[in-house]
Structure formats: C-alpha cells, structure tokens
Amino acid sequence: MEFSGKVALVTGAANGIGAGVARRLAAAGASVVVADVDDERGQAVADEVDGLFVHCDVRDPLHSEAAVAAAVERFGGLDIAVLNAGIGTGFGLGDDFDPERYRTVMGINLDGVVYGVHAASAELKKRGGGHIVATASMAGLMAMPMDPLYGANKAAVVGLVRGLGPVFAADNITVNAVCPAFADTAIISSFKDALVSSGMPVMSVDDVVDAFVAVLRDGKPGECWFVQAGRPSAPFTFPNPPGPRTADGERVNLDLTPLTTKEN
C-alpha cells in the first residue's frame, strides 16, 4: 500500500509495534512523526525513517496536541494517527494493587487514545478525512485473568473505537482498532518464556504491522481487527446484545442514527 504524500503520527513509536509501523509507513512514502517518552530511542527511529521526533507523554492532552501541531508545522498536515502507546499492568486488585500505578496505566492505555483522537481529529477534518488506528489487544476481546486491569483498559479502547466509528465516518475519518494477541514486544518480556514453554505462539512485530496496513487499506468505520498467529487478520464479529421488548413481548427495532452528532 502506498502512502506517498501522507503524514502519519505514531505514538509509542520508539520501539516494538510503534517503531515497526513507523518504519513501514515511511518505507511506503509517508512522512512520519515519531512520538514517545523515550527520547534516545525515539530520535533514533525518527532519524532512521527521515521523520520527526517529538517527546510525547500521552497521559497529558497538551502533549498530544503538541505532537499533532508538530506534524502540521513540519509536514503541512495530518492524514493518519496511530495511537499505539501502551504498557502492561502486571498487577491485580489484591495486596499488590497500587493506585498510582493503576492511574499511570489507565492514563497511557486509555486516556492516551482519547486525547490522541481529540487532538488529531480536527487536523484530519481539514485534510478531508483520514485514519485513526488505536492499538487495543485480544485482551480487550476476551477474558484476561492473568492481567484483568489490562483487559479492562483495552476493552475500553475497543468500546471507544466502536462508538466513534459512525461518529467520525461523517467526516470521512475511519476509526479502527488493532487487537493483537501475544507479540514479541517489551510488554511480554517478563513472561515470554512461560508462553513459549506452554506452546502459545508469539507473533513477530512484522505480523502485527501487516495488520495495521490491512486496516488502513480495508478497515470500515468502528471495526476492531484481531491479530492471531497462523490466521489472516480480520474484523472481529461482535455478537448482538439482547434487545428490548415491548410489554407484549414484541421486539423493538432501534435506530440510534439520529443520536449521532457531528460535533465530535
């Protein structure tokens, strides 16, 4: 897929999936803003892709706004926002619970997506449309007993993307999520050996990057694409929830379209 003339912002792009996406987009012709809190590695990736590095703590909405502004100042606009910054939780609600750590994780994994969407959407509208892709996780599509708080914030990202899909579609902005299973990144470093010994496939970063490109090419508004080893990525099909019934037991056919506002 060609991205010549496109401008992309990638958060969490100093390593792992974010760095892989930045490299792939740049190789396909895009101008890339590499956003991260790791200045040394982030600058190295930016130098590699002939892009721009910006220090960006996604927990702070002003940082997301500054990253978007930097893209506009350097490259003239914004077409793609990949909201990828994320960290593992690594604790539960027992004796190991740390409220400060909890707020940090939620700030990066959920707030960072919210602030990123808010900051990027206005510039995407100016370009006549574009793409927002958030990195969620298979943990947001299924139960995650080994890290339930991580599952909670990734499920929130999935719900956010599904809700925003039809809202931004009116502005020709496609909002999607990519939901990888275990990929060979720093998030799984502490338990990678256990995964491998249990027979769980660990995907390469390139496998996940392939899914991002597929979403940018074929994604429809609000879709959340699973990424699993050994099978092609595709939109996850969510089961329909039970709908309301009248007092007589008749099904109520709801149309929420009029409630969708363009003031997003």
Please give the CATH topology (third level) of the domain spanning 7-259: Rossmann fold (3.40.50)
Max CA pair span of the chain: 66
Strand locations in the chain, DSSP E? 7-11, 31-36, 52-55, 80-83, 130-135, 173-180, 224-227, 234-235
Give the CA distances from residue 56 to residues 38, 61, 117, 124, in Å, rounded to whole numbers and listed in that order. 9, 10, 14, 19
For position 17, what pLDDT does the model report? 93
For position 152, what pLDDT does the model report? 95
> Tell me: the pLDDT tens digits for 157-174?
999 999 999 999 999 999
Lookup: tokens for 41: 């590695």
For position 191, what pLDDT does the model report? 61
Separation CA 103–CA 67 (nearest Å): 22
102 is a catalytic site residue = no
* β-strands 224-227, 234-235 pairing: antiparallel
Phi, psi of 85 (to 5 degrees): -55, 135
Q: Give pTM, 2 decimals.
A: 0.90
Angle between helices 205-218 and 16-27 (to 10 degrees): 50
For position 217, what pLDDT does the model report? 96
Separation CA 111–CA 226 (nearest Å): 22
From the candidates 53, 75, 115, 150, give the one annotated as an active-site residue: 150
pLDDT tens track, the chain, 264 positions: 689 999 999 999 999 999 999 999 999 999 999 999 999 999 999 999 999 999 999 999 999 999 999 999 999 999 999 999 998 887 878 888 999 999 999 999 999 999 999 999 999 999 999 999 999 998 899 988 888 999 999 999 999 999 999 999 999 999 999 999 877 676 665 665 665 666 667 778 899 999 999 999 999 999 999 998 888 999 999 988 888 888 888 888 766 666 665 555
For position 95, what pLDDT does the model report? 86
Given a contact cutoff of 8 angstroms between Cβ atoms, the answer to whether 36 and 13 are in contact is: yes
Given a contact cutoff of 8 angstroms between Cβ atoms, the answer to whether 98 and 90 are in contact is: no
Phi, psi of 191 (to 5 degrees): -130, 20
For position 1, what pLDDT does the model report? 66
Separation CA 166–CA 172 (nearest Å): 10
CA neighbours closer than 13 Å in the CB half-sphere of residue 1: 16
For position 205, what pLDDT does the model report? 87
Per-residue HEC secondary structure of 25-93 comes to: HHHCCCEEEEEECCHHHHHHHHHHCCCEEEECCCCCHHHHHHHHHHHHHHHCCCCEEEECCCCCCCCCC
Domain segments of the chain as ranges: 7-259
Lookup: tokens for 114: 């919210």
Lookup: tokens for 226: 């699973």
Separation CA 122–CA 263 (nearest Å): 11
